[in-house]
A = this chain, B = another copy of it.
Amino acid sequence: MIKMRAKSISILWWTDEKALISILGHRNAAQRKLIRLAYEETYQEDLLKRLESELSGDFERAVYHWTLDPPDRDAVLLNVALRKAIHDYRVVLEIACVHSPDELLAVKRAYQFRYKHSLEEVVTAHTSGDIRNLLVALVSTYRYNGDEINARVAHLEADILHNAIQEKAFNHEEVIRVLSTRSKAQIIATLNCYKDDHGTSITKILLGNPSDEFLAALRTAIQCINNPLKYFEKVLRNVIDKVGTDEDALSRVIVTRAEKDLEEIKELYKKRNNASLEHAVPKDTSGDYKDFLLTLLGSKAF
């Protein structure tokens, strides 16, 4: 069956991107891996290399990323994001703060295997100052993943965050320590304490100066830990509402979340925007790229 899929892909080159979309777009990570293996065995050629040479533009990038193993895909996304002239720290923050500790570890292993460096090294090399301290701490840590929370610590650290904000010392090492070493359950408890004690969420307070790169990164980290669904819905909303489309962000959210929580992100999007993502995405995209994203948005195969 898988061999047949691999064969179908091969005879489709130059002829039928629609069938390619239909085959790959409806397969989960394990099935895509088998298709890659079968393709390589049958044609002595890496399917990914073939995709790179046959396809182009946003469509090629989206299909390529989709076909990679998820941790390897994240490693590639990180490498591209960190080497951009204008940094996009969202990719680093999403991977460091949305992933479970073991998922982050898998990405770090894939990164080392592919690039012969640690992720810590490359983040350090492409950043500086406060933002470096924040990002390196977030990608390095191996958090505790348990659900237990300590209410006393939550209150204490809500106060630490509040004091740092009062003093406008957002880059204070205590802020970075809380966000990078505590378990997610504990950080969420702390953020809830903050809201209860001070009547507003910490992310609202941090809205202050939108051009401040560090503040923006801090907000993104907190959003990714506290409520990834809300965060990803907002990324998609911003992409779709904006004049011109940030295809990298659009593809990234759809490709990386398709096998995780895309259904929930779609529901949230619909609730907040009175329109479905399946309705909104075609307005900003076209051709095979549009069809591929719609396939991932509509697939129930994962």
Chain A residues in contact with chain B, CB under 8 A? 105, 108-109, 112, 116-121, 124, 133, 136-137, 140-146, 148, 173, 177, 180-183
Contacts and interface: CB of A to CB of B under 8 A. Distances in A.
Contacts of A119: 142
Contact of A118 (B116, B121, B124, B144): B144
Given A117-B144, A118-B143, A124-B181, 16 more contacts: A109-B142, A112-B144, A112-B145, A112-B146, A116-B144, A116-B146, A118-B144, A118-B181, A119-B142, A120-B180, A121-B144, A124-B177, A136-B177, A136-B181, A140-B142, A142-B142
**Secondary structure type dominating chain A contacts:** helix
Contacts of A182: 121
When A and B form their complex, which 7 residue pairs have the shortest distance between CB atoms, in order from nearest? A140-B140, A120-B181, A118-B144, A121-B181, A112-B144, A108-B142, A140-B141
Contacts of A117: 144
Given A140-B137, A142-B105, A142-B140, A148 B116 contact: yes
8 contacts: A105-B105, A112-B144, A118-B141, A118-B142, A118-B143, A118-B144, A124-B181, A140-B142
A145 B111 CA distance: 12
A145 B113 CA distance: 10
Nearest to A177: B124
**Complex copy number for this chain:** 2
Contacts of A120: 141-143, 180-181
Nearest to A186: B121
A183 B112 CA distance: 11
A124 B180 CA distance: 11
Nearest to A122: B181
A273 B9 CA distance: 70
Contacts of A137: 136, 140
A183 B146 contact: no
A184 to B, nearest CB: 11
Contacts of A116: 144, 146, 148
Contacts of A112: 144-146
A253 B91 CA distance: 43
A47 to B, nearest CB: 27
